[in-house]
Structure 1
């Protein structure tokens, strides 16, 4: 029996953050290399660099998160003794709530399913961040600041009938 070749590839879908670049200050103190942005399925894969002193809004995850720290250190304000350092892998279940903080700066690779629901310091709703919002925001920041949008993988393209 021959192996099916449903999705023949004439090239590999690969990026390199050193070659393809990043969006500097996608948010204050946050530099993003988009790797995979799938708004249709709610999956986003990013490489992020956080400047020293970065504090992100408290957020609720609607899905799971895998975060691998490659450099520096960071923690969630709610878990001050659980500092993530280079080499740390963190799994976050859907429904988790926390506030990212990096005193000295950090870098890492994240795979996120679903959205972040963001809140201000008084726990008031701010906004929702998902793959589609991130993709749009990165393009807007790149255009507004004259940066080149890095190449990234963007699968799919809407629902349609099979042949």
Structure 2
């Protein structure tokens, strides 16, 4: 069997050097987009929530994995039983619907691996749009350019490579 020699064995990023896209997807939310695999239908992002940030109600079409590293957050629909603090891991199955709210007193940070899309709803329960790997990548690049930041080596889909 012939090996494919032009594919990397692994792609490594030093994420502390990545710029944050501020105000992306919701007021008070900043992200460092690490992976946007449009073909595979998933994204990986470090998130930073300003105190009191609320992510509007959304339904996930795929599973989500999250790991909180700083601060705290919860789902308005589930209250204290859904509280995430540093060291918390959360699994959200496809079909999970919720409204995320971060701590009112401190910056909160978490890493999320999101499969599929978010289907966003307004306060009356009306569908208002979606967020997926493709439009997150587009928004991330656009916001970084507007901020005057360099575009980092985001891993993209296909044969796994860096955004160029």
Q: TM range, normalised to the smaller chain?
A: 0.7 to 0.9
- Contact 2:73/2:102, CA 8 A, preserved across alignment: yes
Instruction: Report how far residue 62 of structure 1 moved.
Output: 0.3
Distance verdict in 2 for CA 1:98–1:4, change over 3 Å: farther
How many aligned positions are there?
155
Q: Distance in 2 between matches of 1:148 and 1:80?
A: 39
Aligned counterparts, 1:103-114, within 5 A: 103=103, 104=105, 105-114=107-116
- Contact 1:23/1:150, CA 8 A, preserved across alignment: no
Which of structures 1 and 2 has the bigger CA Rg? 1
TM-score, with length taken from structure 1: 0.86
Flag structure 1 segments of 5+ consecutive residues without an equivalent.
Answer: 158-163
- Contact 2:40/2:157, CA 8 A, preserved across alignment: no
**Could you say what the CA RMSD is over the residues aligned between the two structures, in angstroms?**
1.9
- Contact 1:75/1:101, CA 8 A, preserved across alignment: yes
- Contact 1:20/1:150, CA 8 A, preserved across alignment: yes
Aligned counterparts, 1:34-73, within 5 A: 34-73=33-72
Q: Distance in 1 between matches of 2:148 and 2:18?
A: 15
TM-score, with length taken from structure 2: 0.86
Flag structure 2 segments of 5+ consecutive residues without an equivalent.
Answer: 160-164
Instruction: Report how far residue 139 of structure 1 moved.
Output: 1.3
1:23 maps to 21
Give runs of ≥4 in structure 1 deviating > 6 Å: none
